[in-house]
Amino acid sequence: MSNEVLTTNNSLLYILAFIIFPYISLTLFIFGIIYRFKTNSFSVSSLSSQLLENRVLFFASISWHFAILGTIFTHVTTFLFPSFWANLARTPYHKPLEYIGSIVATLLIIGLLLYMYRRAFISEVTKTTTFGDWIVLLVLMIQVLTGFGQLLFYENGSLFFSEHAVPWLYSLFTFNPNIEYIKDLPLVSKLHFFNAFVFFAILPFTRLIHIIVLPIPYIWRNYVVIKWFKKEEAI
């Protein structure tokens, strides 16, 4: 096979993975959420298994939720202010921030491993575990490991998002897609970015949909008054 054919095949693969698939993913994300709310709004929850087992869930939730909030904050602010984070990564604060990122990634991995342990080895939870639950955990683990891998194995790994992924995402959102921004990145980075869109594609069809539901109406909702009535004893 000639180099020209290989180059053409690679270009087609890049177009499918980093232009066409992201648009498919976002379409599934938006219309999947609308469909879920319209057809089965009561299923829009995490379907908690806390009543089935609480101890492992407590440590898993603490590790996962505190770390994921920090991760989301970092990604969102980097997307909104890429120059700020890129410049910060070139200051003496760069190393301490990487250490913090490593701690956060470790907490995420611990949280996911504990979630997997519950699903696999605690019988009460295993009985309620679906194939979709395992897909969610697998996608999340791939996302965390590939993100952590960029930080661990590449000297400028912390710059990949701000200097490469953000311009690529901007090009997608402005309907002027340009994969040149990420074409020369290592495989682990490409897998990280591709897997992120896998996450968005499956989110509306799994228990992960609960992350888009914020209890905002509780701010202005009237208090719920609960009255207890004693059953009168028969005479």
Asked whether residue 2 carries a pLDDT value surpassing 60, the answer given is: no
40-49, 82-91, 110-119, 165-174: segment of lowest average pLDDT? 40-49
Determine the pLDDT at residue 126.
Answer: 85
CA separation for the pair 102, 233 (Å, rounded): 63
pTM (two decimals): 0.82
Determine the pLDDT at residue 6.
Answer: 42
**Do 185 and 164 meet the contact criterion of CB atoms below 8 Å apart?**
yes
Q: Where are the domains of the chain?
A: 3-219
Q: Is the dihedral of CA 130, 133, 134, 135 positive or negative?
A: positive
CATH of domain 3-219: 1.20.950.20
Name the pLDDT band for 9 (thresholds 50, 70, 90).
low
CA separation for the pair 192, 154 (Å, rounded): 14
Length of the chain as a residue count: 235
Asked whether residue 23 carries a pLDDT value surpassing 80, the answer given is: yes
Asked whether residue 45 carries a pLDDT value surpassing 70, the answer given is: no
Asked whether residue 122 carries a pLDDT value surpassing 60, the answer given is: yes
Determine the pLDDT at residue 135.
Answer: 95
Average pLDDT of the chain to the nearest whole number: 84
CA separation for the pair 45, 196 (Å, rounded): 21
37-41, 80-84, 110-114, 182-186: segment of lowest average pLDDT? 37-41
pLDDT tens for each residue of 212-233: 765 555 555 565 566 666 665 5
CA separation for the pair 187, 217 (Å, rounded): 43
CA-closest candidate to residue 115, choices 138, 144, 85: 138
Determine the pLDDT at residue 51.
Answer: 45
